[in-house]
Each structure stands twice: as C-alpha cells, then as structure tokens.
C-alpha cells in the first residue's frame, strides 16, 4: 500500500479495495517506526488522524467525496496554520502557538478528503537550506542519515521519501520546496506567485513565499495543484485564474517544445555528476523531438545578493510581531524587567542564530543611510532578473537547469559555514525573485547513492507546460526507486 502514489491510493479507496482508515494506520505505523531516527514531524496526532480518516471514509462511501485525493494521508509544513494543531515554525518563540483557523490551502485539501497526519519539521521560520536550524532538532535524509534532507521544507520532503505520508505541503521562498525535493528524490513544485493563497502561511519574505506540494510523482503534483489553486479573496496576492486543469497537461508528447538551458548555470561550482544527470535529461528531450539549446541568462549572477537583501529586509519587518506580548513565548521575568527589556530578552531567547542573523541583516539594509545603497538597488536588480526571464520565455517554453549545485551535504557542513548554505540556493532563488513556477524531478543518483534532481522553470502561470515536460521525462525515465527499494538492492 505504501508504494502507491496519492492518486493511486485514492482510486483504491474509492473503489473499496482499501479504506482510508487502513491507509492512515499504515502511515502512522511507519511514522512511529522512523521518527526517533529521522525526525520528520514536529507534531503528529494519531487519535485525531484516525478519527478524521473515519469521517472521510463515511463521506466516500456516501458518494459525497469523489476527489482524486480523497482519503489520502498527508502532512503540512509547520509554518502553515492548522486550526487546533500547533504551528510552531520550528521556533521556540512559537513553541506553544495553536492557531484558531486553518490556511485556505488546508481547508481546500480537507474539502477534497485529505487526512492530515501532522506538521513537518523545517528550518526555523523557513530560514535555511538544510532543516538543521529547527528548535526541535535536525531532520535526516532518508537516503543516508548522515546527510541533510535540504530545506527549509526538509521535513516534508523526507516524510514523503520515507513513506510517512503520501504527499506534503511545503513553502518556497528561495527554493525551499525544489531543493529538498532534489535531495530526497521526490517531486516538488513551486507555483507562480499568486497562483496559491498565502493566507495562513506565517511569512518570511512576503513578496517571495509560495505554498506548493511535495509528492511521489508528477501526476500527484498535478492533482494536488488543482486543489490548491483556488482563488482566495482574503489574500490580496491571490490571482483569479481559470487555467487550473493541470491533470489535462499529463501528456508524454514534447515534440516541438522549445527548451532552453542557461549556460550560466553550468559553470564553476556545479558538481560534475549533477551536470551529467541534467544533460542526460536534455538528451532525452532532444530524442523526443524537443528543440533544446543553450542560451545566456543575464543577471543571474546577482541573484544571491539580491535575494538575501530583499528576503532579509522582509523578514526583519515580518518577524517584529513576535515580541512576547500577544502570543507565543515570553521570557520568564518579563513582567519584572520592563517592556523594552522584555522585548529584547524574549527575542534573544526565542529566536535561533540563523533567524537573528537574517533579522539583523534586514534591519541593516533598511536602515537610514543604507536603504538606497542596498535595498532599493536590490529591487532594481530584481526587475532586471525578471526582464531577463521575460526575454528567455519569448523564445523558450521551459528552461531546464539543476535544482541544486550538489547532492545533499553531510550534517553540519553547511551549518558551520552560512555563506556556503546560502550558495546552495543559487539555481532556485531567481525563480522566486521573478515570481515564476518551477518543478524539481528526480533524474538520477550520484556515486554515494544520493538522489539528483533537475529543475524545470516556466513563465508566469504556465504550470501546464512544466507539468507536460516533467511528465514526459518521468514516463521516459521510468519509475524512480523508493528508499526501501534502493536499500534492499544494496
């Protein structure tokens, strides 16, 4: 049962071969088996999950729930609000926060019959690329427990790879869905900015954040995205669209599709094994009749400083609300030391080092005398990066690139060198700066047995083209081995 995709499982539940309760029991058994070692979840509730599975099963039997995801157990990243379930952002400062409402994306999935198992681990406030900055301990990569699962949605990616859920929600500010998907050998998609409601997503960088799925294959990705892509009038960034039939794009034919390969992405710093795997994917597209050629994607070399300037500035503003007065953690002697000292001590004790680092950087670039020199200049470069992509998409349907420069590093390697961790986002952050959709699909393994992911990037609201290209590659590649299958072979 656990080898099934989400869509396959739901089909069996609706055809009465399996029940939602049985599927949930199997997932919970897997969670209890692996959690002590891999730490994919911050919170999971066995009793609530089984109760929900029973409710969904009744709706399915009564013919009231017919979604292709009905009855499927899934997980939610712990920065997306869930009514009555702790939402901590993997931070001490929100360690006891229980929202009184659910994000619209959670409501949409529950209306489609989702069974929420729990909330997945992540880098604190989504600030990191390894899921090592969590206040609740590190998550380990299912393919090799001595390596990171990527981040910040590392808990979601690892849970899908370990079969601790059939799919999960993540958030992507600079690659936080696509990079851990690459590291964990699963499919991960960052939709166009505005495609999916951001309401209820605890903000890191408001102009960059986007919710998206991590799942087993492209078919699941298309089905989940259809459910997520409902217009939300309560979110000022939500865009009303009618082109949401993503499962219709599940077509193997890429003949005549124009695919660009940015030569800027294949220079120094890219692991040769990653390069070879992505280039093999390019050869596959050529064999299938697609037009594949290299081109120069200008201004991408400025993406990292631009991203960290803008994202840190927005984080500095967004995180000022966590001060110990309204909700969340407050230092023990807060009532005795005065308001301003209470603010300082609460934030000093409640935030981790990486969050403090980015708040300070953001406050600096927004400060008087530096606003023009750094923040405004970064906004101008962001516009240039978007223009470069516009020029590329005037010629190409999709762009093919690596999802990350290497496979998953060892635990502790990136944490000891924050700059090295920032550079791991080099191929993903420009997509967020331009508000574009991107999808990561497994395309091989390195010599250490760690997965390699390729990234397909599309123009705004062109998710159908991405799904078509990704599905065609996936069908040509054949089934990607699970963690269990790979370990059994070894």
Whether 479 is a known active-site residue: answer no
Kindly name the residue from 10, 30, 67, 77 that is annotated as catalytic: 77
Alpha helix (H) ranges present in 39-87? 46-61
Which pTM value belongs to this model? 0.96
> What pLDDT, on a 0 to 100 scale, did the predictor assign at position 490?
63
In-domain check, residue 379: no
**Residue numbers in the chain where pLDDT is lower than 70:** 419-420, 488-490
Count of the separate structural domains present in the chain = 1
Give me the DSSP letters along 125-146. Answer: GG--SSS-S-TT----BTTBTT
Give φ, ψ of 260 to 5 degrees.
-100, 140
What is the spatial distance between Cα 243 and Cα 273, in angstroms, rounded to a whole number? Answer: 37
In-domain check, residue 56: yes
Domain of residue 49: give its range.
6-250+443-453+473-489
In-domain check, residue 463: no
In-domain check, residue 75: yes
In-domain check, residue 196: yes
CATH assignment of the domain containing 235: 3.90.1300.10
* HSE (side-chain half, CA atoms, 13 Å) at 134: 31
Whether 152 is a known active-site residue: answer yes
> What pLDDT, on a 0 to 100 scale, did the predictor assign at position 290?
98
Token couple for 284: 């596959």
pLDDT, tens digit, for every residue of 285-324? 999 999 999 999 988 889 999 999 999 999 999 999 999 9
> What pLDDT, on a 0 to 100 scale, did the predictor assign at position 413?
87
In-domain check, residue 290: no
Token couple for 212: 């998206």
Q: Are strands 187-190 and 41-44 parallel, antiparallel or unpaired?
A: unpaired
Whether 77 is a known active-site residue: answer yes
In-domain check, residue 374: no
Token couple for 450: 């760690």
pLDDT, tens digit, for every residue of 68-94? 999 999 999 999 999 999 999 999 999
Kindly name the residue from 176, 182, 238, 312 that is annotated as catalytic: 176
In-domain check, residue 30: yes
Kindly name the residue from 102, 152, 197, 238 that is annotated as catalytic: 152
> What pLDDT, on a 0 to 100 scale, did the predictor assign at position 267?
85
**Among residues 277, 282, 290, 286, which one has the least CA distance to residue 261?**
282
Surface-to-core class of residue 442, CB atoms within 10 Å of its CB (0-12 exposed, 13-18 middle, 19+ buried): buried
CB 147 within 8 A of CB 406: no
């Amino acid at each position: 049962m656990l080898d099934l995709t989400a869509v396959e499982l739901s089909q069996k539940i609706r055809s009465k071969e399996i029940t939602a309760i049985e599927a949930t029991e199997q997932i919970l058994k897997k969670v209890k088996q692996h959690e002590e070692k891999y730490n994919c979840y911050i919170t999971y509730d066995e009793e609530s999950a089984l109760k929900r599975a029973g409710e969904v099963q009744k709706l399915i039997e009564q013919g009231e729930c017919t979604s292709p995801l009905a009855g499927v157990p899934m997980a939610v990243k712990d920065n997306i609000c869930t009514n009555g379930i702790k939402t901590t952002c993997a931070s001490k400062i929100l360690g006891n926060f229980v929202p009184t409402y659910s994000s619209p994306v959670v409501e949409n999935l529950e209306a489609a019959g989702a069974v929420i198992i729990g909330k997945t681990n992540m880098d604190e406030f989504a600030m990191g690329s390894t899921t090592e900055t969590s206040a609740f301990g590190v998550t380990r990569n299912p393919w090799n427990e001595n390596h990171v699962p990527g981040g910040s949605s590392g808990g979601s990616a690892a849970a899908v790879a370990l079969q601790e859920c059939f799919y999960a929600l993540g958030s992507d500010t600079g690659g936080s869905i696509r990079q851990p998907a690459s590291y964990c050998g699963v499919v991960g998609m960052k939709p166009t900015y505005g495609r999916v409601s951001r309401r209820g997503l605890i903000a890191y960088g408001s102009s960059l954040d986007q919710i998206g799925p991590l799942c087993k294959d492209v078919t699941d990705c298309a089905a989940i995205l259809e459910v997520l892509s409902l217009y939300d009038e309560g979110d000022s960034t939500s865009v009303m669209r009618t082109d949401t039939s993503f499962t219709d794009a599940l077509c193997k034919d890429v003949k005549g599709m124009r695919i660009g390969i940015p030569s800027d992405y294949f220079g120094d710093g890219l692991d040769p094994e990653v390069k070879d795997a992505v280039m093999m994917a390019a050869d596959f597209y050529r064999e299938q009749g697609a037009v594949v050629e290299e081109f120069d994607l200008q201004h991408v070399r400025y993406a990292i400083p631009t991203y960290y300037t803008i994202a840190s500035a927005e984080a500095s503003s967004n995180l000022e609300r966590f001060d110990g007065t309204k909700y969340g953690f407050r230092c023990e002697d807060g009532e005795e030391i005065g308001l301003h000292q209470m603010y300082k001590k609460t934030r000093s004790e409640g935030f981790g080092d990486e969050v403090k680092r980015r708040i300070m950087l953001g406050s600096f670039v927004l400060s008087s005398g530096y606003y023009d020199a750094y923040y405004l200049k970064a906004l101008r470069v962001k516009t240039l990066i978007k223009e470069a992509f516009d020029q590329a998409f005037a010629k190409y349907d999709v762009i093919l690139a690596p999802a990350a420069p290497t496979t998953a590093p060892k635990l502790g390697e990136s944490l000891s060198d924050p700059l090295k961790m920032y550079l791991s986002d080099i191929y993903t952050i420009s997509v967020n700066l331009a508000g574009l959709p991107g999808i990561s699909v497994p395309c091989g393994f390195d010599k250490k047995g760690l997965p390699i992911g390729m990234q397909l990037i599309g123009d705004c609201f062109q998710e159908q083209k991405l799904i078509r290209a990704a599905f065609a590659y996936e069908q040509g590649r054949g089934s990607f081995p699970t963690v269990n299958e790979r370990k059994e072979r070894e």
